[in-house]
Amino acid sequence: MIPVLLITLPIFSGLMAFFMKGQSVKSWALLSSFAVLGISIWSLFSDANLLSYSQAWLPSLGSRFDLTMQDGLSKLMCLLTALSFPLVLISTQQNSSNQSPHFFALMLLTQAGLMGVFLAADALLFYFFWELALIPVYFLCSIWGGEKRIAVTFKFFIYTFVGSILMLVGILSLYYMQDTPSFAWSSLTANASKGIYPNWAFWLFFLAFAIKMPIFPLHTWQPDAYEQSPTPVTMILSGVMVKMGLFAAIRWLLPLFPKATEQFAWVIVCCSVIGMIYASLLAIRQDDIKRLIAYSSIAHIGLMSAVIFSGNASGMGGVMIQMFHHGVNVIGLWIVANAIEQKLGTRSLSEMGGLAQKAPTLSILLVVMSLANVALPLTNAFVGEFLMFNSLFKYNVWLTAVAGISIILAAVYTLNMVQKVIYGEVNSLTEKATDTPFNVNFSLVLIAILIVVMGVYPQPLLDLTKDAVTQLFAQQ
């Protein structure tokens, strides 16, 4: 029952929002996102029988409307989706995009699509939601984005669309390889153990996920898309949507193609590590704060994808909690970046300086977010990153050594950003800067608390994802 609510509630409130007028829609969207958050928290404590739902959908095609959030990974991802929307909506109240009812309607529909991806237990349904999450985002970015929004969003759309229809071909070919064709996750994975799925099908799936993550040679859409999207959407894109790729790799790719994964892991791990270094180096050179965060995000995702394909059980646990933490942290960074942009009207680091004097609270919070981005001990990111490097180390020492450089580079670009933004002389532009309004501080403080608490006491999340990890490794 809970999975259905998680999807239908945002769809319903999103459709309603299309017909609303004026300011009431803001409260409506916020209310809906809080309700979803409530349900998502409820799912952590509820009975197992409430956590899945099955309904005949297309009997002639062998597809069912199957949703499940039995394991910790789905719960965690739904929680991230549910948590990020209120944070985003609260902290971007003043943005120019957040004034139209259509904006909120499309945002809520995006949430429904994301939830569907994390919940689907049927391959065709999964594909459905995978595409559906994209359509509202396409409109959001193209309507409210920056100057080059139309071309950039289109590139993003075509990229992901190509990936996803290749995945559709993959799904179809797997479907007919079974003795009794079915799209159900359980049936597909049960047949996978017989080793009947060929390697090229692995690549059809992988491409879709790799584009979404994105992994090194396929990442070119991402910095542009992050830069040009309206910031609330960027937050969702980098906080939640890229997790779709990582999640899908864990949920579908690994159980479906254990052999192919083993065989090709080195290619993917190498690409991921190259991507980490490459993106980190590019991040150092960025002047635009949004692009800097975008590249830093590629570097972080690179590590996660490397561990997904090479990792041991503890590493996989690290990836799962890191998916959550990276989502929270990066949204925190975006909120700061957005606040700065709103205040100063620029995103260029070279024009900033001296914010510590003019906006001390914001500066402190920026430092907290930045330290979490560097994965300093006592912040939440440290736990996941440690587990992941540990696991990568066991896979290949040399790759770990190269990947390790990215930790240093992360410190370089993040601290460089902090330095340029909050220290230095106050210039004419930052003269008028003041501290941020209550709603921004509220979200940031909430995130800061999460960062510290989860950094000191990570056990609850590790416990939550334990069953997903065990299940994954039991199958292989």
Partner 1 sequence: MNAIIVSAVFGVLMMFASFLVNNKNVYRYLAIIGLSVLLLANILETYAIWSIKFDSFLQLSFERFGLFFNSIAIAATLFYVLLSGKDIVRVGNYSAEYFVLIFFILCGVSLITSYNSLLMLFLGIEIISIPLYILTGSDKKNLKSNEAALKYFLMGAFSTGLMLMGIALSYGAVGNFGLEGRGVVAFGGSMRVSFLEVAGLLLLFISMSFKASAAPFHFWTPDVYEGAPSVFTSFMATIVKATVFIGMIKLLEARTGIFGPTWQIILPLMIVLTLAIGNITAVFQQSVKRMLAYSSIAQAGFMLFALWSANDMGREGILLYSVAYTLATVGIFAVLVKMKDYTFDGFNGLAAKQPLVAASVAVFVLSLAGIPLTAGFFAKYFMLASAIKSGAGVWLLVVAVVFAAVSVYYYFRLIQAMYFKEGEAEMFEQPTNSFKGMLAIFAVLLIVLGIAPSLLFNYLYF
- Segment near partner 1 (CB under 8 A), from 23-31, 141-149, 278-286, 369-377? 141-149
Least Å distance between CB 62 and partner 1?
A: 10
Query: Which residue, 43 or 63, is less far from partner 1 as judged by CB?
Result: 63
Closest to 115 (Cα-Cα) out of 205, 212, 3? 3
Tell me the residue type at 90. Answer: I
Least Å distance between CB 272 and partner 1?
A: 25
Report if residue 4 touches partner 1, rule: CB under 8 A: no
Least Å distance between CB 169 and partner 1?
A: 5
Query: Which residue, 122 or 385, is less far from partner 1 as judged by CB?
Result: 122
Least Å distance between CB 160 and partner 1?
A: 10
Report if residue 143 touches partner 1, rule: CB under 8 A: yes
Query: Which residue, 252 or 324, is less far from partner 1 as judged by CB?
Result: 252
- Segment near partner 1 (CB under 8 A), from 66-74, 155-163, 302-310, 358-366? 155-163
- Segment near partner 1 (CB under 8 A), from 27-35, 143-151, 268-276, 390-398? 143-151
Query: Which residue, 57 or 393, is less far from partner 1 as judged by CB?
Result: 57
Binding to partner 1 (CB under 8 A): which residues in 158-217? 158, 161-162, 165-166, 168-169, 172-173, 175-176, 200, 204
Burial (CB < 10 A; 0-12, 13-18, 19+), residue 442, is middle
In the block, tokens 């999460």 appear at 450
Report if residue 126 touches partner 1, rule: CB under 8 A: no
Report if residue 128 touches partner 1, rule: CB under 8 A: yes
Least Å distance between CB 405 and partner 1?
A: 37
Least Å distance between CB 138 and partner 1?
A: 8
Least Å distance between CB 179 and partner 1?
A: 14
* Dihedral sign from CA coordinates of 169, 254, 300, 400: negative
Contacts of 235 (CB under 8 A, 6+ apart): 84, 87, 88, 92, 330, 331, 334, 335, 338
Rounded Cα distance, 341 and 382, in Å: 28
Among 131, 351, 435, 467, interactor with partner 1 by CB under 8 A: 131
- Segment near partner 1 (CB under 8 A), from 142-150, 283-291, 341-349, 380-388? 142-150
Compute how many residues bind partner 1; rule: CB under 8 A: 30
Among 149, 212, 325, 326, interactor with partner 1 by CB under 8 A: 149
Count of beta carbons in the 10 Å neighbourhood of residue 296: 28
- Segment near partner 1 (CB under 8 A), from 56-64, 69-77, 243-251, 350-358? 56-64
Query: Which residue, 217 or 360, is less far from partner 1 as judged by CB?
Result: 217
Report if residue 15 touches partner 1, rule: CB under 8 A: no
Query: Which residue, 19 or 45, is less far from partner 1 as judged by CB?
Result: 19
DSSP bridge partners of 68 = 52
Among 31, 61, 196, 456, interactor with partner 1 by CB under 8 A: 61
Query: Which residue, 14 or 315, is less far from partner 1 as judged by CB?
Result: 14
Among 60, 350, 428, 434, interactor with partner 1 by CB under 8 A: 60
Contacts of 244 (CB under 8 A, 6+ apart): 114, 117, 118, 130, 133, 212
Positions that interact with partner 1 (CB under 8 A): 57-61, 127-128, 131-132, 135, 139, 142-143, 149-150, 154, 157-158, 161-162, 165-166, 168-169, 172-173, 175-176, 200, 204
